[in-house]
Chains A and B, each alone.
Chain A
Amino acid sequence: MDTDLVARAQKGDQQAFASLAVPLGNRLHAVAHRILRDTDLAEDATQQALLSIWQDLPQLRDPARFDAWSYRLLVRACYAEGRRIRRFAPNLRPLPSAEATASDDFASVVDRDQLERGFRRLSIDHRAVVVLHHYLDLTLEDVADALGVPLGTVRSRLYHAMRGLRAALEADARPPAREVAQ
């Protein structure tokens, strides 16, 4: 991240912001897509986050913190999208199955489905911690910084989120119930 570009964009330089926005947009969209599990919602959240970043950039005190700050605005946008869709629709739409790769060696289709269901049961806040830590590889301290919450909150959210995902996977591992002939 180029702090000079950030500083110029803070002063209203649209070209500088455009230069930032191309790689930033991809990064944010990848994160939003993984949090929201929906392409359209992720696009809306990314668009909202980019506009919020532009609008609020003058209030960013330390340009070196631009990445963490932008993730915070993105998670807010994801939260807003999740909340909005919850108001009008009971469920998020599932990702198209074509997006699942065929090359993974870790998990069956059933695993993915169970993970998908387990992940959707998590709140946006819990999803964000999982994605920032396990997808972006941010340390828990950096996740706390990005989200603007205490480290203990991040640890707690991650613990509960991973416990939920583990339960989802283990639910699949249990043998199916069978009817017993009387």
Chain B
Amino acid sequence: MSSDREVTRIVRSWLEEGVNVLPDRVLDDVLDRLPTTPQRRHLWQAWRNPLVINTTKFVMAGAAVLVLAAVGIGIYFGQSGGGPGAAGPTPSSTPIGTPATSQPAVSQPPSPAASLPPAGEHVPGTYALRPEPFSVESPLVRVRVPAGYEAIGTYAVIKSGDEPTDFVGLGVWEVDAVYEDPCRWSATDIDDQSVGPTVNDFVAALLAQPGRTWWIPGTNPPVDAANHLNGPGDTRITSVSVDGILGKRLLLGVHPDIPFDGVTFPDCDEGDFRSWPGRFHQAPSQFDDVRVLDVGGTRLIIATTYFPTTSEEDRAELEAMFQSIDIQLP
């Protein structure tokens, strides 16, 4: 029918149609949130949520506070022997969200797992992490979070200091794509980097990523996994059971040949070395201890992160948090 020029003209004309002004309520909502939305330090980038922070999530964050309060009240009543009709908390009761003192909430008898508190809160307790991205079919990962940790979105908890390597964390994902090249992650449409649905599909995609360093999972300090057989003898993979659920475990990092300027990987797209959507490395020395599980047909990824400089105490605390995991089917 038409020349390329005519098609272009039609498309351009068609694109002129449409909305051009952002409604005031949307802009006002954004501006209202600035005071409570901290600007990100780079060390958070490794756990940045690349997906959506939409109205629903803000509502969820608000709901999380309410749930947390409800759990706290339940704990309070449990402590005081109260119940329906019992006297409510007095002004002298411990405020919900206070960092752990001598008797953190995690030591209380089993209670419903609360959703994570909003980012930035340092609240010990038992929480339900939601894999990113979350759907109604996603399992919940209940975990005991010690004092000093804060929430990133609803899928991770971290403890960080001033240096990029002063960082430990635990996160959960339910992603269906792995970057073919973690350094050149934007070169291919993410839709074209989807992997098959099984644990082995995900593991194989990770093992195929260039620019990696591998250690033998479960070794401390980590031992280089020199035997890359892509088979049963491959020292990069071990079998694992998390809360009785079977899967595979890998301990991965970034090869030291990938340039790093102390803050970013300057030769990589946007300075990021990305494992999968939502997962970044923030320094080559970062250990990512990844467990890929089959939870009733849903592939769940749980990763803990630490550095060579992480103290034994912090490692033990992170390991204890991991060991507390209770995976709950939807």
Using a CB–CB cutoff of 8 Å, the interface residues on chain A facing chain B are 12, 14, 17-18, 21-22, 25-26, 28-30, 33-34, 39, 42-44, 46-48, 50-52, 54-59, 76-77, 79-81, 83-84, 87-88, 95, 99-101, 104, 106-107, 111-112, 115, 123, 125, 130-131, 134-135, 147-150, 153, 162, 165-166, 169-170, 173
Q: With a CB–CB cut-off of 8 A, which chain A residues contact B39?
A: 12, 54-58
CA separation between A61 and B10, bound complex, in Å? 38
Contact between chains at B18 and A33 (CB < 8 Å)? yes
CA separation between A135 and B37, bound complex, in Å? 32
CA separation between A85 and B180, bound complex, in Å? 25
CA separation between A58 and B21, bound complex, in Å? 27
Residue of B nearest to A23 (CB): B22
Known: A25-B27, A58-B40, A59-B45. A52 touches B21 (CB 8 A): no
A172 CB, min distance to chain B CBs, angstroms: 8
B93 within 8 A of A: no
B229 within 8 A of A: no
CA separation between A100 and B15, bound complex, in Å? 10
Residue of A nearest to B188 (CB): A153
CA separation between A153 and B184, bound complex, in Å? 13
CA separation between A104 and B191, bound complex, in Å? 35
Q: With a CB–CB cut-off of 8 A, which chain B residues contact A162?
A: 4, 7-8, 11
* 18 A–B contacts from the bound complex (CB under 8 Å): A25-B30, A26-B22, A29-B21, A29-B26, A34-B18, A46-B22, A47-B55, A48-B52, A54-B39, A55-B38, A55-B40, A57-B39, A77-B52, A80-B52, A99-B17, A99-B18, A106-B9, A131-B15
Q: With a CB–CB cut-off of 8 A, which chain A residues contact B17?
A: 99-101, 104, 112
Known: A26-B22, A149-B186. A18 touches B2 (CB 8 A): no
Contact between chains at A99 and B19 (CB < 8 Å)? yes
Residue of A nearest to B34 (CB): A14
Told that A25-B22, A80-B51 touch, could you supply 10 new A-B pairs with CB distance under 8 A? A18-B31, A29-B26, A106-B9, A106-B13, A106-B14, A107-B10, A112-B17, A115-B11, A134-B11, A166-B2
Contact between chains at B13 and A87 (CB < 8 Å)? no
Contact between chains at A84 and B35 (CB < 8 Å)? no
Contact between chains at B34 and A42 (CB < 8 Å)? no
CA separation between A101 and B15, bound complex, in Å? 11
Of B8, B19, B33, the residue contacting A30 (CB under 8 A) is B19
Question: Main secondary structure on chain A at its contact with chain B?
Answer: helix
B53 CB, min distance to chain A CBs, angstroms: 5
Contact between chains at A115 and B189 (CB < 8 Å)? no
Q: With a CB–CB cut-off of 8 A, which chain B residues contact A80?
A: 50-52
B23 within 8 A of A: yes
Residue of B nearest to A57 (CB): B39
B178 CB, min distance to chain A CBs, angstroms: 16
Interface residues on B, range: 35 or more
Q: With a CB–CB cut-off of 8 A, which chain A residues contact B52?
A: 44, 48, 77, 80-81, 84
Using a CB–CB cutoff of 8 Å, the interface residues on chain B facing chain A are 1-2, 4, 7-23, 26-27, 29-31, 33-35, 37-42, 45, 50-55, 133, 135, 186-187, 189-191, 269-270
Contact between chains at A22 and B54 (CB < 8 Å)? no
Work out how many contacts link A and B, with CB atoms closer than 8 A: 151
Contact between chains at B2 and A169 (CB < 8 Å)? yes
CA separation between A59 and B46, bound complex, in Å? 13
Residue of A nearest to B263 (CB): A59
Among B13, B15, B22, find the residue whose CB has the most chain A CB atoms closer than 10 A.
Answer: B22
Contact between chains at B51 and A84 (CB < 8 Å)? yes
Residue of A nearest to B12 (CB): A134
B265 CB, min distance to chain A CBs, angstroms: 13
Contact between chains at A123 and B191 (CB < 8 Å)? yes
Contact between chains at A107 and B13 (CB < 8 Å)? yes
A129 CB, min distance to chain B CBs, angstroms: 11
Contact between chains at A84 and B133 (CB < 8 Å)? yes
Of B19, B26, B35, the residue contacting A47 (CB under 8 A) is B26
CA separation between A21 and B17, bound complex, in Å? 23
Contact between chains at A107 and B14 (CB < 8 Å)? yes
A1 CB, min distance to chain B CBs, angstroms: 17
Residue of B nearest to A104 (CB): B13
Contact between chains at B11 and A29 (CB < 8 Å)? no
Query: Closest 6 A-B residue pairs measured CB to CB?
Result: A29-B22, A173-B1, A25-B22, A135-B15, A80-B52, A80-B51
CA separation between A30 and B133, bound complex, in Å? 27
A182 CB, min distance to chain B CBs, angstroms: 31
Residue of B nearest to A39 (CB): B19
Among B15, B40, B51, B269, find the residue whose CB has the most chain A CB atoms closer than 10 A.
Answer: B15
Known: A21-B30, A25-B27, A26-B20. A48 touches B1 (CB 8 A): no
Among B23, B27, B38, find the residue whose CB has the most chain A CB atoms closer than 10 A.
Answer: B27
Known: A14-B34, A51-B33. A42 touches B19 (CB 8 A): yes
